[in-house]
Amino acid sequence: MIDKLKETVAKVLNDVDLVIGYENGFDAIHATPYFITSADQIDKLIWNPLCVHNLTTYLPTLKMKKVGIIVKGCDSRTIVQFIQEGLILRDNLVIIGLPCTGVISVNKILTETNREHIEEVSFDDKGNINVKTGKGPKTLAVADFSPDKCGTCQYPTPLVYDHLVGDPIKSDKAPENVYADIKEFESKTLEERMKYWEQEFDHCIRCYACRNACPMCICSDNCIAESRDPHWMTQKMTFTEKFMFHMIHALHLAGRCVECGECERACPMGIPVNKLKRKINQDMKELYGYEPGVNLDEKPPMFMFNVDELKIKEHKI
């Protein structure tokens, strides 16, 4: 698989300025984004369940360059959404798709190993990850240590690509379970939910890792969280300010969030910020029957206006 990927990247590199893929990170459990501009770099390219990042987040800033990009099924939804919104030029892009059976939640592994230094990581063909720390080796099922999104993944094979490396995979996950966790959370009382967010956002350090990791958060340098003109938010560290920021982030993603979970993965304080976005996406699906980033021919609901929205009664007055 990796040989075929390297071959494809070598081919693509002839026609583009750079290819974005993955290489090994600072320790055995971390992969890291890899910008390949010359053929001698290809050797270090990797592909395994540690390749968690949604690399498409770099694409809008590279809009005018010719870029080759490696995407998993979930990542490819971002590209569909980008194209719908006109944020990238399809002609400048060569997409290398990789069917994916699920990645690793590095955070879940680190919790399991008590955050000790991980010396070695390997994967076997039975779907396990072998992790070795100073205390010895551990064999864990990848499926048990995947991000939540993998557990309900509907699109293991990229929805848009120029080259597909590997055979397409069909999802075996029930579509009705995609928002099961959100429905469960909604069954709590308003007070319980408020208390939950008060506790979670108390950890927020306003580092904006969630915003900057988010591929769809495209106004990052002009974000109202820091802007003094308009001056909508103060620089105080209160719940009100933090909640305001996260709500604005979530609302700006209504019908746009592709649920890659990068916001949550990036958070150094472990705040489940993706929940807010997924709740809104669930509403968008119910109201407009729209799912972001799955169909190139669709127009996102917030990009158009229908006088007669089928499911919004007020419009019929």
Partner 1 sequence: MAETGFLPKDKIEGFLEAISKDNVLFTPVLEGDVVIFRPFKAGNSLYLDRPANNSPKSVIYPQSDILFSYEYKKDIDDPKKVSVDIETHMDYPKTVIFGCRPCDAIGFNIYDRVFIESNGPDIYYQGRRDKTTIITLSCPTPYAGCFCTALGGSPAGKEGTDLLMTELEKGFLLEPVSEKGKAILKTAGVEEGDQYLEEAQKKQQQAHNAVNKPFPSISHTEISRKRFDLDEFWQQAVSKCISCGACTFLCPTCYCFNFTDEQTLEKGERIRSWDACMFYHFTLETSGHNPRPTRFQRYKNRVGHKFLFYPEKYNGVIACSGCGRCIRYCPVSVDISKIVSQLRSPE
| Binding site residues, partner 1, CB under 8 A | 25-27, 29-35, 53, 57-58, 107, 110-111, 114-118, 134, 199-200, 203, 205-209, 211-213, 220-221, 226, 228, 234-237, 262, 265-266, 268-270
Q: How far apart are CA 120 and CA 114, in angstroms?
A: 15
Give CA–CA dist 148/261, Å, rounded.
9
Q: How far is the CB of 313 from partner 1 (least distance, A)?
A: 37
Distance of CA 162 to the CA centre of its chain: 21
Nearer to partner 1, 34 or 47 (CB): 34
Give the shortest CB-116-to-partner 1 separation in angstroms. 7
- Tell me whether residue 167 or residue 235 sits nearer to partner 1 (CB atom): 235
The residue among 264 and 291 lying less far from partner 1, judged by its C-beta, is: 264
User: Containing H/E element for 10?
Assistant: helix 2-13
- Return the number of the residue (64 or 205) whose C-beta is nearest partner 1: 205
Nearest approach, Cβ of 255 to partner 1 (angstroms)? 24
> Measured from the CB atom, is 101 or 220 closer to partner 1?
220
CB of 284 to partner 1, least distance (A): 26
Comparing CB distances to partner 1, the nearer of 168 and 270 is 270
**Distance (Å) of CA 205 to CA 224, 237, 249, 265:** 16, 8, 15, 15
Considering the complex, what minimum distance in angstroms separates the CB of residue 27 from partner 1? 6
Name the phi and psi angles at 279, rounded to 5: -60, -45
Q: Which amino acid is at 188?
A: K
Nearest approach, Cβ of 122 to partner 1 (angstroms)?
18
The minimum distance between CB 13 and partner 1, in angstroms, equals: 16
On whether the CB atoms of residues 41 and 69 are closer than 8 A, the answer is no
Cβ atoms of residues 52 and 104 within 8 Å: yes
Q: What are phi and psi of 45, to 5 degrees?
A: -60, 140
Q: In the bound complex, what is the minimum distance in angstroms from residue 213's beta carbon to partner 1?
A: 5
CB 283 within 8 A of CB 313: no
CA distance 176 to 179: 7
Q: Which is nearer to partner 1, 206 or 285 (CB)?
A: 206
Strand-pairing partners, residue 163, are: 96
By the 8 A CB rule, do 287 and 311 touch? yes
Give the SS3 label for residue 310: coil
CA distances (Å), origin 217, targets 51, 143, 197, 252: 21, 29, 21, 8
Please say which residue, 171 or 234, places its beta carbon nearer to partner 1.
Answer: 234
